[in-house]
Amino acid sequence: MSRFALLLRKDLLLLARSRPLLAVLVVYPLVLSLLVGGVLGGQGTRPRVAFVNEDDIPDVVHIGNRSFDFGRIVRQAGKRVQLVDLTLPRARRALADGDVVAVIIVPRGFVSDLASLIASPQVELLTNRNAYEERILRETQAFVYTLNREVQTEYIRSNSHFLDVLVSGGKAEALGRSYNVLGLDATRKRIEQVEAGLPPDDPARKQLDSITAFAGQASAALGLAHQALAATAHPIGLAQHSTRGRSYLLGSQVQSYGLAISLAFVTLLLGAAVLTLERDENVLARLLRAGVRPALVVAEKVALCAIIGCGLGMLLALGFGVAAEISSSGAPWARIPLLLVPLTAAGAAFGALGCVVGAAARDLRAASLVGVALVTPIVLVGLVPRQVSPLAAGVSELLPFTPAVRAFGAALFDAAPLSTVFGGTAHLLVLTAVLAVASVALFRRLQS
């Protein structure tokens, strides 16, 4: 057996005999899975949205001779978000205080603008930067879309009726006024009656014939316009069916971040601890005398972290999968084997960073404290979106957290994941090599 394998076996044996550590490695994924399950289960929670009805619109709105069930449309929107009726000042305050995530405002004059057909009324949306921003925007768009569709349907019905009146004659309303319309059919009959009273060689008969022909053509064309009006108003329809498929937003992000944060804590601290342990046990000099080079010691610790990281990550991924199934979010079971590669690389990269800490620290306690102190900013920097701070995003690319999250996310959810998964893995391996070299250099310097 090689020296590398001997050291690895020894460390695995030591880990197995360290009951508190073993308990942490088993309990940690379980607890985190429960938390993720809670998050996934809670993703159906409706965010609170203030609804400001400045136009005092009643449940049923009458425009012209049509009625619109405005209350029903609002109630429909309320199934996906929790609508809270507020006045505008209170709604603004609630948004500023974070009591609501957005404010939907129906301004004064909304119904009269709608009835006039001259100006398009506006629904206003106020929101701040929060996790629900996108979702609220979609809900508001859906609300406006539903309202538009209801109004549009009524307008089409109304316009269609007007076309009927133009052909057959009758009463019509437009711009709030009532008209008696003769209709093309009656026009044609009246012309035919007038024509019947004229002498056969009357020159006006030819002109009246052309008007009668036009009335017939127009009547036929307007008959076709009914269907064209309905078809052009809704060129593409949307049929929605709910299934038990995966939810991208929370499903992917929560699992990817959960995996990366877990690996960051466990393998970084493990790397720091196992390297410091060699010093605490006073065996370093003995190992060196036995022909074990510092680079081999560091490489073995990195490999140990990669193994533990992979094992822990797989346990977590399975736990998350079960949590996702229970919460009806859907689990990416088929993708879990693809996680093996980036999980191993991430474990190695965090472990190598831990080895840098372990090489620099004087004892186990110091290494643990420095490790915990280091993990927190690494995770925080990795959580900052590039749009918010390009500098933080740039720094996080030099640390294992961000490439790990990217690779995990791709492995679990991307339609074509291989390039991102292997790109992220290569990134992690480069970081591993750099950090391991730094650790060996530090280790040698402190030993001499």
Partner 1 sequence: MSADVPLIACEGLVKRFGERQVLGPVDLALAAGDRLALLGPNGAGKTTLLSLLAGSAEASAGTVERPDAREIGVVPQRPALYRRLSARENLELFARLARVPEPEAELAELAAAVALGDALDHPVERLSIGQVQRVNVAIGLLGRPLVVLLDEPTAALDPGHRLALWSMLERVSERGGAFAFATQNVEEARLAADTVLVLVDGRAAYAGPQEAFWQEAGAVEAAGGHERAFVAFVERVRSAA
> By the criterion CB under 8 A, which residues form the site for partner 1?
1, 3, 6-7, 10, 13-14, 17-18, 281-283, 285-292, 448
Least distance in angstroms from the C-beta of 4 to partner 1: 10
Least distance in angstroms from the C-beta of 389 to partner 1: 45
Looking at the Cβ atoms of 242 and 448, the one nearer to partner 1 is 448
Least distance in angstroms from the C-beta of 13 to partner 1: 7
Least distance in angstroms from the C-beta of 1 to partner 1: 7
The sign one gets for the Cα dihedral 64, 67, 69, 73 is negative
Looking at the Cβ atoms of 55 and 278, the one nearer to partner 1 is 278
Residues 432/398, Cβ–Cβ less than 8 Å: no
The sign one gets for the Cα dihedral 89, 90, 94, 100 is negative
Least distance in angstroms from the C-beta of 282 to partner 1: 4
Looking at the Cβ atoms of 190 and 286, the one nearer to partner 1 is 286
Looking at the Cβ atoms of 288 and 426, the one nearer to partner 1 is 288
Q: Give residue 30's identity as a one-letter amino acid code.
A: L
Looking at the Cβ atoms of 276 and 344, the one nearer to partner 1 is 276
Least distance in angstroms from the C-beta of 284 to partner 1: 8
Looking at the Cβ atoms of 234 and 444, the one nearer to partner 1 is 444
Least distance in angstroms from the C-beta of 5 to partner 1: 10
* CA distance linking residue 280 with residue 367, whole number of Å: 11
Looking at the Cβ atoms of 14 and 395, the one nearer to partner 1 is 14
Least distance in angstroms from the C-beta of 80 to partner 1: 56
Looking at the Cβ atoms of 208 and 446, the one nearer to partner 1 is 446
